[in-house]
Every structure is written in structure tokens, then in C-alpha cells.
């Protein structure tokens, strides 16, 4: 069974440029999460989807970040324009039913460097 | 609201020695608790989880953790460290609302 797939693995951009990350969750997983992991820190939730609905986006900086999950399958996270402080690893995770005691399956992450 | 605190951002142990990584949680509802491991340049992988039932939970790679409600703790242990255990370890808690909260992580170094 294929795991959570993310691309690109690495991205280097200059500040004020746009960037997009793509995630394909495990087949059949209804819940999809985007996390940001700063260096030396734990993952912090940006947005959570139940199917195609964003049910928790309270931590998403909506002035520059946007996300979509069309058809409730794969998802895209966009930053426009990027700032120096956005340098981090962006992790995508999925779970089967979105219940609180389920397991999160993580992708390998997309490492963003903003110069 | 839920949160976790991991005591010690860096832990070093000798190969073959006991591994003890500490995690304390705060939760207003019965918590579900998790330990994840992250190897360099990889995503997080579940080591073990506590939901209900037996408070001593066994996971992969010889790790186990004990849920102690009175101490609000969920410490991770392994009797004998192996070089391959060197990684970043994250404790996480979830409760209602399908929200997972992660600690800041503990980096484990295993000394030959």
C-alpha cells in the first residue's frame, strides 16, 4: 500500500515568491492534515480536512496561506507571498476516519527554504 | 484543551543502556496518547499509542510506554538502546475534535 506522498521534497525560493506543495494521502483516508514543523520543534497544525471540507483552519495564516482539497482526495497548500519566517518543513498526514485515537500517517515532508 | 511537555530536548545514552524519554500531558478530557519517531529527512512514524485499557503499551522496535493518570505522564522506555534508535521522538495527545497536539521533541543520541 502506498503511503502519503508529498512533493516537492525540497524547495528554495526567494522571499515574496509563491510556492505550492502537493499531498496525496493514503487511499481511503478521509482526513487530511497539513502541519508545519520548524527546526527543532514539533509539528503544528495548519489545517485539517474531513473529505473536502476544511474543518479546522484556525491556525492557517490566511493572509498568505491557502489550501484546497478538491474532490476530497489530494490537497495543495500554497504560500503567496513567502516570507523568511516560512522556512520550515511542511508535513502532510492522513488518517482513516479522523477519530482522535486513530493513527496519523505522515508523508516525508516538503522542506522550504526562503532566502 | 490538550498539550504535552517533553522534558529534555536532548538525551544521550550508551548502546545497551536504558532509554527513558519523558512526556507529561495536560488534558481536560480522557486523553489518547501517542509516541512518534522521526528519522532524519523523514516523516513521523507511530511507535505506540494509548487509548483505553491496559496502561502499559508495547510498540514497535522494543519500545513501551506506561500511562500514569495520577502523574499525567506517558514516558517512553526501552530496556537496551541500539544505534538504530537514534532519532527524534515526539509525544502527542488528542482528545475531542480530532486534534493532535505534539510536544517539541526529544533528540536521542546513542553512543557506541
pLDDT tens digit sequence for B63-81? 999 999 999 999 999 999 9
Q: Are B4 and B90 in contact (CB under 8 A)?
A: no
Per-residue model confidence (pLDDT) at position A46: 96
Alpha helices by DSSP H, chain B: none
Burial of residue B5 (CB within 10 Å: 0-12, 13-18, 19+) is middle
Instruction: Please compute Rg for chain B using Cα positions.
Output: 13
Per-residue model confidence (pLDDT) at position B86: 96
Per-residue pLDDT band at A111 (split at 50, 70, 90): very high
Distance from CA of B99 to the nearest CA of A (A): 7
Distance from CA of A34 to the nearest CA of B (A): 12
pLDDT tens digit sequence for A13-50? 999 999 999 999 999 898 999 999 999 899 999 999 99
Considering only the beta carbons, identify the residue of A41, A50, A104 that sits closest to B100: A104
d(CA B33, CA B51) in angstroms, rounded, equals: 7
**DSSP states along B26-52:** EESS--EEEEEEE-TTS-EEEEEEE-S
**DSSP states along A18-51:** -EEEEEE--TT--EEEEEEE-TTS--EEEEEEET
pLDDT tens digit sequence for A49-83? 999 999 989 899 999 999 999 888 999 999 999 99
Per-residue model confidence (pLDDT) at position A79: 97
CA-CA-CA-CA torsion sign (B93, B97, B98, B101): negative
Amino acid at each position: 500500500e502506498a503511503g502519503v506522498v508529498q512533493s516537492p521534497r525540497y524547495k528554495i525560493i526567494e522571499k515574496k515568491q509563491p510556492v505550492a506543495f502537493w499531498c496525496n494521502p493514503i487511499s481511503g483516508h478521509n482526513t487530511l492534515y497539513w502541519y508545519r514543523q520548524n527546526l527543532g520543534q514539533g509539528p503544528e497544525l495548519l489545517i485539517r480536512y474531513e473529505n473536502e471540507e476544511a474543518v479546522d483552519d484556525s491556525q492557517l495564516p490566511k493572509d498568505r496561506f491557502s489550501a484546497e482539497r478538491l474532490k476530497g482526495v489530494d490537497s495543495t497548500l500554497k504560500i503567496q507571498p513567502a516570507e523568511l519566517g516560512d522556512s520550515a518543513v511542511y508535513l502532510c498526514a492522513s488518517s482513516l476516519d479522523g477519530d482522535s485515537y486513530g493513527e496519523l500517517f505522515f508523508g516525508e515532508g516538503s522542506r522550504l527554504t526562503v532566502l | 484543551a490538550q498539550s504535552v511537555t517533553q522534558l529534555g530536548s536532548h538525551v544521550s545514552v550508551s548502546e545497551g543502556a536504558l532509554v527513558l524519554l519523558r512526556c507529561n500531558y495536560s488534558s481536560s478530557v480522557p486523553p489518547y496518547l501517542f509516541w512518534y519517531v522521526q528519522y532524519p529527512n523523514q516523516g513521523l512514524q507511530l511507535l505506540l499509542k494509548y487509548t483505553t485499557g491496559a496502561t502499559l503499551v508495547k510498540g514497535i522496535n522494543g519500545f513501551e510506554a506506561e500511562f500514569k493518570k495520577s502523574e499525567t505522564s506517558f514516558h517512553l522506555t526501552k530496556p537496551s538502546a541500539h544505534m538504530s534508535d537514534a532519532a527524534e521522538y515526539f509525544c502527542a495527545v488528542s482528545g475531542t475534535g480530532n486534534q493532535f497536539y505534539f510536544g517539541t521533541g526529544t533528540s536521542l543520541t546513542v553512543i557506541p
